[in-house]
Structure 1
Amino acid sequence: MTFESHGVSAGCWTGTLQSDRRPASLSVTHRGAVVVQAALREAGPGVWAVSAGLPPSVIDNGVHSLLLVVGDSVLASLTLVAGTVAGDDLLAEVAQLRAELDLLKREFRRLATGG
């Protein structure tokens, strides 16, 4: 299952999803909480058009990271930057992303080794 993002326009995140079957649930999360369920429309054999209208709460001053999730799998991420963002905010966001990536890598390695 792969997702190709077409970006955000008029507050709606769009893209195409290639999958053998329609996913049961496709959602957008922000800070660990589901903020919207994405809409799916068949766009051809094994291709689905995806659209998710973003709520105003995630389009706000600062840096916001959104994840497109199906089940427990992250298909894509989207970073929104709005307003005046201090350099320290961006550095803090990068540090948080690095920490989350390190956690995921550790867990993946643990699961891969059967530990």
Structure 2
Amino acid sequence: MDRFESLGLKSGIWQGILRRDTAPVRLVLVHLGERVGEARVTTGDEEGSWRIAAAIPSQKLSDGVQSFILMEDEGKEGEALQPGAFHLASLNIVAGRQLDHDLRAEIVLLRSELDLVKRELRRIALGN
């Protein structure tokens, strides 16, 4: 089974280790239902591990909670996220004033994931 271990955010790069036998075809970074970039995949230090690095676009950061989702699919570089994409990991960034509850971060993440689901359902319904 796939296991992603986040190594955190440093200098605007979210890094992690993916443990599985084969490298992912493509990893897409999503923010508020919009594709904002692709992650770089390199061979990890151990057999069956892959180092993942995704640049967080600075223009997407603002006060409050920002949620970024790392999705895996079979698409080609630059293409839209493909139907059947797999949610690999998520990163919540809290900026500005301190928030009262972590629940707000979860709500933002759920909204972002719901936007992805709605987009895929529309695509399937239209036969694209």
| Counterpart Cα distance in 2 of 1:8 and 1:30 | 16
Q: Which runs of 5+ in 1 are unaligned?
A: 105-115
TM-score in terms of structure 2 length? 0.67
Give the CA RMSD over aligned residues.
2.5
Give 1:46 shift: 1.4
Give 1:96 shift: 5.2
Asked if structure 2 preserves the Cα contact closer than 8 Å seen for 1:61 and 1:85, the reply is: no
Give the structure with higher Rg (CA): 1
Partner of 1:73: 86
The 3-state SS of whatever aligns with 2:24 is coil
Decide whether aligned partners of structure 1 residues 38 and 97 sit closer, same or farther in structure 2, where only a CA change above 3 A counts: closer
Identity of aligned residues (%): 34
Higher-strand-fraction structure? 1
Higher-helix-fraction structure? 1
TM-score in terms of structure 1 length? 0.74
Partner of 2:82: none
| Counterpart Cα distance in 2 of 1:95 and 1:30 | 14
Q: Which runs of 5+ in 2 are unaligned?
A: 74-84, 118-128
How many correspondences in the alignment?
101
Partner of 1:45: 47
Decide whether aligned partners of structure 1 residues 14 and 97 sit closer, same or farther in structure 2, where only a CA change above 3 A counts: closer
